[in-house]
Amino acid sequence: MEAAEEKLLLFTMENRPLATCAGDQALFSSVYSILMQQLPREPMEWRRSYGRPPKMIHLEANFVQFKEELIPKEGNRALLTFPFLHIFWTDCCDTEVYKSTAKDEITKWQNILKAYSSSDWLIVVVESDAKKKNKTNILPRTSIVDKIRNDFCNKQSDRCVVLSDPLKDSARTQESWNAFFAKLRTLLLMSFTKNLGKFEDDMRTMREKRTEAGWSFSEYFMVQEELAFVFEMLQQYEDALVQYDELDALFTQYVVNYGAGDGANWLTSFCQPVRSWNGLVLRKPIDMEKRELIQKSQATLLDLRSYLFSRQCTLLVLLQRPWEVAQRALQLLHNCVQELKLLEVSVPIGALDCWVFLSCLEVLQRIEGCCDRAQLENNCCHTVGLWSYATEKLKSLGYLCGLVTEKGPDSEDLNRTVDVLAGLGAERPETANSPQSPYKTLNEALSSVEAFEKHYLDLSDAAIDMFKTIGRFRSAQLLGKDLADFYMQKGEPEKAEGYLQEALSTYLSEGWPLLIAHTRKQLAECQNRLQQTENYLQTSSLLAADSCLPDRERTHFCQEILRLARQSAGDQVEQLLLPMQGFAQLRSLRFEPAGAVVHVGGDLTLELTIYSLMPIPVPLDYFSIHLHLASNKDNVKRSSEVAGKGRNATGIIVFPSEPTGPCCPRTSQPGIELYELHDRSPSDNSLNSSGIICKNVHLLLRRQGSSTSIERSAGLVLEDSAHTLRTSVVLLQPGLNTVLFKTQAKDTGTYTLRQLSASLGCVQFTLSHIYPIVQYEVYSQEPQLKVEPVTDNLLAGISQRVKFTIHTGHYTVRSGDALQLSITDTLPILHSASTTALVSTNSGDKLSEAPLTIQSSGKITSISLPLAPAYHLIEFDLHVICHIPSTLPTPPDSEKPSADVRGARRGHEKAKPEVPCMTSIDQKISIDCPWSIYSTLISLTFEIPFSASHSLLSAGRRKYLQVCVHNLSEVGFQLFDPQLMDIGNSSHLNFVSLNSVQQQHIYSRQVTFFLWELTWSEETGPSLHCQFSVAFTPVMGQEHGSTRPYTYQLKLDNFQSLYDIKAEILPPLGLDMCKMGTLCNLEVSIMRLSDLTEVDRDEALSESDGYCTTRLMYEVVDDSSNWAVCGKSSGMISMPVVARATHKVHMEVMPLFAGFLPFPDIKLFKYLPFQACPAGQMDVAADSWMENDTLSLERPADEQTESSSLRSRGSTHSSGSGEHKALPLPRLSPFCTGQVYNTSTFRQILVVPCQDDHMLEVSVT
Amino acid sequence: MLASCDSLTHDADDHVRRRKMAVCVAVIAKENYPLYIKTVPTENELKFHYTVHTSLDVVEEKISAVGKALVDQRELYLGLLYPTEDYKVYGYVTNTKVKFVIVVDSSNIALRDNEIRSMFRKLHNSYTDVMCNPFYNPGEVIQSKVFDNMVSGMMVQVC
């Protein structure tokens, strides 16, 4: 087999299986075109051996003239040139001719085939009507076909086919063609199956021998590739690819085994040093040069790999899987690099880089060549790896050849460049004419610094763009960092900065401490070269604080800061503001005083705990705190609020500390700060809506990408504020430091700590916000005087303690300052030698105690104050006594309002309603203070501890007066010397005291009674006005009793008895006792006790002939239903107004129960005629009386007040109720207490039960 | 195996008979910050940090691709993330989106996929143990000695 011939075959892309044609060549030529055309038209199912799935296959074939040389000899494994089918063509239709020539030809042909043991043959007999007509001696029964079959196809009758009139267009012709093609295809496939199967078997046998010595991979490679070629020829690309993949895997396995120490001899041939590195060749379907090298066992590892990949690539492109090419290419390139290492192949410096670079570009261009633009863009995820790999390799080549320097390559670099380019050899002819090829690109890139930059940037940009397109930002940033390196090397730091910043922001947001530190270091270098002092300082501070860096580097950066700060300070450069985060951390803050509230002029100390992140001590010029002052009006209120707000008693505020170690991105995300919101309507303060507000939403919702990294000091502004606190020079040690700020408070208001800054030369490290909010309060206070009782309430009449509290505020009490008290006589101040004043600080620390000097002159009492500095407290107690006023004009339950005396219900709300309340007295004190020209008016309320009431008691005509004193206070008293005096003008009245003891104890909330008998020497007036007085002292304690007694004025009207009522119940006649259910006689005798008096002169009185009579009405009422009054229970009598005039009335009553029954009530009223009044008023009065009748009768008690109230009630009703009845009625008027004396009140009479009553009713109550 | 795999990396310790399994093991939190990174040799630490960080690109790509598939059929092992000339980077993601990344020396061709998978399984088990420790706050850097020892064992295996 000549190589030339094979080459010829291979280069014609139209490789087809070979079929030979023998016999009548002219005949064959006539049908050749139809044959070529029709054969592939219909697919044929190809059943495969070894369980491979059957495939539909379109058969094609090349038909060549039969030559003996075409048939391969035994042992030749060439498959491509293997004739799969031998066809003999004949159109012999004459027996004679057949016998003479055709048979011999066929025999000869057959013999050759037999000699080569080829059994794939076919005899085609072409029948033609034209020929038949010419020949007359046709034997119709025995056709030529039959003869041939007989002669040659002894068992395989199907090896001979008839083609009838192949060139005619008839149904018969078509039929015969179809049959022919079916046969042809079947036979071809049979041949394929048989021959390929045999080939594969041979190949496998060969492969099994690979462990034997002398086995050659190259040889085997050629054999298996032959199979691949055939599959490719049959358009079975998948199968062809499998062959190459198997070869690939086999080789790889050998390399791996070599690595494991199991080296094969043949492998050494691949370990030749790399001399040529011109990259992959993918433009040709078959790289014959490389194939030849493999065949000759001269191929290097790169040659073999290149060739294998170029074949795989060709097949993958044919299979329309270009992306797999890209994927496999990357694997291949990585793998080759590893294999060269593993096989310890010596590789010149830069050679592999060149090879990889060229290969990447070649693969990319190959893919570009078979895809359109849109496809490429959509699939850049597959190619981007190659792009970045090429970039990486070009970069390393650039560094190698000295192209990435500011100066450009030196001679050594140029020598190296020449060496590297030498290995490329000459450009391949197939790309020589194209404007750009990997070869040209590399040559150009290495030719000059500028060209290199251009190509490198092109590649980098392309790769970065692709990475970004497919969302691989980290990869893009890593490439960007390479670019930054490149620019830094080139001396163009301004271009590098952006890339570094971008990468850094990602590392920061994702929290990779090592990467942050490294990138920052690069950035620092970049900024240093760019003379960006501020940024450089900032980055340096962050680096100096970075615990990921070794101490040496941290110290270096720290010293850089110090150097620059000092240096720039000399140049009078403006202040540089840097964030404090990278320098130090504010850990805690402590206020002294702890409440963080100071008065004007007071001292305030702030103790800051600052954690320095610097590795070495840093001498700072000063620390300063910038304050914001909000002056608020209501200082007092605010200060209490602030003091109570989230501040512990120690005054320490701890700031949330950021972790000093590896920074976590979680902490960079600020916590949500939520606040309550209440929206109230401005008019009525009602709640419109309420909700929660996120205060730092701008921080939380900010876009991640645009987050300003702390590398850029954007937005850091030092607030100019008039209020700053400043320290002196501080040496900030690494770690925790304590910094003290001392200040004296000046202006009042709330000071908010806004910014903290540390000044170092021209550099100010500033903490732009201090959070949580820290405030302190400076307040100014007016002097204040407060007077309040020591006890809950003050009692009048006894000595009480009153506490004076003076807040000096801004006023300093000097010697001679005194309080001037103007007091009324009723409120004397009790002097006491032991009175002392206590001076203490505002916070309650006791300072001193000084005796008070109290001087009284007239109404003015002067109290000299002890010396006290501003913002101090003076406290002292005074004893005062409030005299109970001698006249309490109205009883406490009077509804009449009074200026001085008012009904106080304080403390008695829970008490029973009938318990009277203490009457209170307001006492006003006017105090002149030394600090003010205005007087302070202070009102003290005293309560009178007693209340008194009286009642008139009668016995016939004798009268007694009882006074009840009620102690309303909590204190017990001794009462003594009770006196009753007449203060009216009736001097003929005597009070005979019936009080046995002179001193009486009255406990808290108890009552005590005093009794006098009234005697008179002559008839007195209708009213009596007298005053009760009793002296008292408190039982407990040493309080002084009042010098004045408690007095009570009382007035009695019409207290003398006018009538005496006597009732008698008599049992019925014949009975000793009253009996239940039987009527008894009730005899009521009403007797006039006095002659005509002033009292009787009213409307009921009628006078005739010197005799006066008055009209009375009696009424018998039994409230307890013990009696049934039979007949008239009431009646009107006319009573002569003469002493001892008696009127008797008889009635019948029936006891309803047995036992001692009280007598029924007998009531007596004045009967007033109706005409005495104006008509309308009288009507109403009577009417209303009737209405109120039952009420008044049911309430026999309190008659003294009842009578008056009844009247008043009647009159009030008169105005409201209008006309009610047309019929006028006479009026009834009750008598005053004491005017009617009922002798038989409370008398009882025994009533016996009736005999036949066998029912016993027992009621238990 | 008699010869050392290190022979081709031109290391000085050619004679030490050990086989490198992994050169870098990393545990990365859901938010993509490192919970744990260990590398041998330590002088290349920075490079591995970059490698691991960059590999997150592919991890995210794979996770989002897997996310489209059925949830319960999720395969935790992400396979080879990307090969470089010198290293192969493998990824694994837990159901809580904690990522494990193992970097293997490319020269270690003999390492099979199954071995990588079992390494990840071991890593996952050990990580689960760390999480079960009541004194460990999820999200904190892993400082467990047990975990560290396990990873160390994974990185250098003496033959």
User: What would the pLDDT profile of A221-233 be if each residue is shown by its tens digit?
Assistant: 888 888 888 888 8
Residue A15 pLDDT more than 80? no
CA-CA distance, A730 to A760, in Å (whole number)? 10
Instruction: Give the pLDDT confidence of A1135-1191 residue by residue, as tens digits.
Output: 888 888 888 888 888 888 888 888 888 888 888 776 544 444 444 444 444 444 433
Question: Which pLDDT score is estimated for B20?
Answer: 59
Shortest Cα–Cα distance, B94 to chain A (Å): 19
Confidence of residue A678 (pLDDT cuts 50, 70, 90): confident
Instruction: Say whether A435 sits in a helix, a strand or coil.
Output: coil
Residues 421-450 of chain A with CB under 8 A from chain B are none
Task: Tally the residues of chain A.
Answer: 1261
Which chain B residues touch A261 with a CB distance below 8 Å?
1-3
| A225 to A244, A299, A308, A810: CA distances (angstroms) | 7, 16, 10, 109
Residue A899 pLDDT more than 50? no
Residue A894 pLDDT more than 50? no
Could B110 and A341 be called an inter-chain contact, meaning their C-beta atoms sit closer than 8 Å?
A: no
Strands A160-164 and A121-127: parallel
Higher pLDDT, A581 or B47: B47
Question: Which pLDDT score is estimated for B158?
Answer: 45
Instruction: Give the pLDDT confidence of A811-839 residue by residue, as tens digits.
Output: 888 888 888 888 777 777 776 656 788 88
Residue A329 pLDDT more than 70? yes
Question: Which pLDDT score is estimated for B126?
Answer: 93
Instruction: Give the pLDDT confidence of B21-61 residue by residue, as tens digits.
Output: 788 999 999 888 999 999 887 778 889 999 999 999 988 88
Could A261 and B1 be called an inter-chain contact, meaning their C-beta atoms sit closer than 8 Å?
A: yes
User: Which residues 6+ apart lie within 8 Å of A855 measured at CB?
Assistant: A861, A862, A864
| A652 to A206, A213, A745, A752: CA distances (angstroms) | 88, 87, 19, 15
Compute CA A1040 distance to the chain's CA centroid, rounded to the nearest angstrom.
Answer: 67
The answer to whether the CB of A744 falls within 8 A of the CB of A603 is yes
Confidence of residue A1243 (pLDDT cuts 50, 70, 90): confident
What is Dmax (Cα atoms) for chain B? Answer: 49
Could B84 and A511 be called an inter-chain contact, meaning their C-beta atoms sit closer than 8 Å?
A: no
Residue A755 pLDDT more than 90? no
Shortest Cα–Cα distance, A871 to chain B (Å): 52
Confidence of residue A13 (pLDDT cuts 50, 70, 90): very low
ipTM for the predicted complex: 0.86
A529 burial (CB, 10 Å; 0-12 / 13-18 / 19+) is: middle
Give the mean model confidence (pLDDT) for residues A477-487.
91
Q: Does the CB of B26 have a partner CB in chain A at under 8 Å?
A: no
Model's pTM, two decimal places? 0.64
Instruction: Give the pLDDT confidence of A520-577 residue by residue, as tens digits.
Output: 999 999 988 888 888 888 888 888 888 888 899 999 999 888 888 887 666 656 777 8
Question: Which pLDDT score is estimated for A261?
Answer: 75
Instruction: Give the pLDDT confidence of A388-424 residue by residue, as tens digits.
Output: 899 999 999 888 888 888 788 888 888 888 888 888 8
CA-CA distance, A1156 to A190, in Å (whole number)? 149
The answer to whether the CB of A655 falls within 8 A of the CB of A589 is yes
Higher pLDDT, A1026 or A129: A1026
Question: Which pLDDT score is estimated for A643?
Answer: 41
Residues 651-680 of chain A with CB under 8 A from chain B are 661-662, 664-666
Question: Which pLDDT score is estimated for A715?
Answer: 58
Give the mean model confidence (pLDDT) for residues A111-117.
81
The answer to whether the CB of A203 falls within 8 A of the CB of A50 is no
Q: Please name which of A975, A978, A985, A943 lies closest in space to residue A963, comparing C-alpha atoms.
A: A978
The answer to whether the CB of A838 falls within 8 A of the CB of A875 is yes
Which chain A residues touch B109 with a CB distance below 8 Å?
252, 255-256, 259, 338, 342
The answer to whether the CB of A620 falls within 8 A of the CB of A757 is no
Give the mean model confidence (pLDDT) for residues A336-349.
85
Q: Which long-range contacts (CB under 8 A, 24 or more apart) does A165-170 make?
A: A165/A127, A165/A128, A165/A129, A166/A30, A166/A31, A166/A34, A166/A126, A167/A30, A167/A31
Could B8 and A260 be called an inter-chain contact, meaning their C-beta atoms sit closer than 8 Å?
A: no
Chosen for mutation from B54, B82, B137 (greatest number of chain A CBs closer than 10 Å) is B54
| Minimum CA–CA partner of A330 in chain B | B83
Residues 111-130 of chain B with CB under 8 A from chain A are none
The answer to whether the CB of A148 falls within 8 A of the CB of A131 is no
Q: Which long-range contacts (CB under 8 A, 24 or more apart) does A632-635 make?
A: A632/A749, A632/A750, A635/A748, A635/A777, A635/A779, A635/A780, A635/A781
Instruction: Say whether A492 sits in a helix, a strand or coil.
Output: coil
Higher pLDDT, A721 or A875: A875
Residue B68 pLDDT more than 90? no
What percent of chain A lies above the pLDDT cut of 90? 5
Confidence of residue A456 (pLDDT cuts 50, 70, 90): very high
Instruction: Give the pLDDT confidence of A1085-1108 residue by residue, as tens digits.
Output: 888 887 777 667 766 677 777 778
Which chain B residues touch A514 with a CB distance below 8 Å?
45-46, 49
Question: Which pLDDT score is estimated for A707?
Answer: 40
Residues 324-353 of chain A with CB under 8 A from chain B are 330-331, 333-334, 337-338, 341-342, 344
Residue A1026 pLDDT more than 80? yes
**Torsion region of A104: left, alpha or beta (phi above 0 gives left; psi -120 to 50 gives alpha):** alpha
Residue A11 pLDDT more than 50? no
Q: What is the DSSP string of A549-596?
A: S-HHHHHHHHHHHHHHHHHHHHTTPPPEEEEGGGTEEEEEEEEESTT-
Q: Does the CB of A885 have a partner CB in chain B at under 8 Å?
A: no
Residue A857 pLDDT more than 50? yes
Q: How many residue pairs bridge chain A and chain B with CB atoms within 8 Å of each other?
A: 89
Could B107 and A341 be called an inter-chain contact, meaning their C-beta atoms sit closer than 8 Å?
A: yes
Task: Tally the residues of chain B.
Answer: 159
Question: Which pLDDT score is estimated for B145?
Answer: 92
Pair of tokens at residue A1070: 């014949």
Q: Does the CB of B5 have a partner CB in chain A at under 8 Å?
A: yes
CA-CA distance, A1155 to B39, in Å (whole number)? 117
Residue A748 pLDDT more than 80? yes
Which chain A residues touch B106 with a CB distance below 8 Å?
334, 338
Could B5 and A338 be called an inter-chain contact, meaning their C-beta atoms sit closer than 8 Å?
A: no
Which chain A residues touch B32 with a CB distance below 8 Å?
510-511, 665
Q: Please name which of A1220, A1190, A1188 lies closest in space to residue A1206, comparing C-alpha atoms.
A: A1188
Task: Determine phi and psi for A583, rounding to 5 degrees.
Answer: -115, -50
> In the block, which residue shows the tokens 């500095």?
A869
> In the block, which residue shows the tokens 């009904």?
A903
Q: Does the CB of B143 have a partner CB in chain A at under 8 Å?
A: no
Pair of tokens at residue A35: 């044959």
| Minimum CA–CA partner of A382 in chain B | B82
Shortest Cα–Cα distance, A485 to chain B (Å): 15
The answer to whether the CB of A274 falls within 8 A of the CB of A346 is yes
Q: Tell me which of A180-194, A308-322, A421-435, A487-501 is least confident.
A: A421-435
Q: Please name which of A347, A253, A265 lies closest in space to residue A302, comparing C-alpha atoms.
A: A347
CA-CA distance, A1133 to A495, in Å (whole number)? 133
Q: Does the CB of A215 have a partner CB in chain B at under 8 Å?
A: no
Could A259 and B107 be called an inter-chain contact, meaning their C-beta atoms sit closer than 8 Å?
A: yes
Confidence of residue A1 (pLDDT cuts 50, 70, 90): very low
| Minimum CA–CA partner of A474 in chain B | B54
Q: What is the mean pLDDT of chain A?
A: 77
Give the mean model confidence (pLDDT) for residues A114-133.
74
CA-CA distance, A938 to A922, in Å (whole number)? 10
> In the block, which residue shows the tokens 């309308």?
A1176
The answer to whether the CB of A197 falls within 8 A of the CB of A246 is no
Question: Which pLDDT score is estimated for A912?
Answer: 40
Residue B114 pLDDT more than 60? yes
Q: Tell me which of A497-501, A807-811, A1217-1221, B139-143 is least confident.
A: A1217-1221
Question: Which pLDDT score is estimated for B49?
Answer: 92
Q: Does the CB of B11 have a partner CB in chain A at under 8 Å?
A: no
Instruction: Give the pLDDT confidence of A935-965 residue by residue, as tens digits.
Output: 888 888 888 888 888 888 888 778 888 888 8
| A83 to A12, A65, A87, A172, A214: CA distances (angstroms) | 17, 11, 10, 31, 31
Question: Which pLDDT score is estimated for A1256?
Answer: 62
Residue A61 pLDDT more than 70? yes
A362-400 core/surface letters (b: 16 or more CB in 10 A; e: else): bbbbbbeeebeeeeeeebbbbbbbbbbbbbbbbbbbbbb
User: Count of H helices and E strands in chain A?
Assistant: 29, 56
Residue A216 pLDDT more than 50? yes
Q: Does the CB of B80 have a partner CB in chain A at under 8 Å?
A: no
Instruction: Give the pLDDT confidence of A691-702 residue by residue, as tens digits.
Output: 887 777 776 666
Q: Which long-range contacts (CB under 8 A, 24 or more apart) does A208-213 make?
A: A210/A250, A210/A264, A213/A265
Give the mean model confidence (pLDDT) for residues A955-984.
84
| Minimum CA–CA partner of B60 in chain A | A472
B150 strand-pairing partners: none
Question: Which pLDDT score is estimated for A252?
Answer: 86
Strands A1101-1104 and A1107-1117: antiparallel
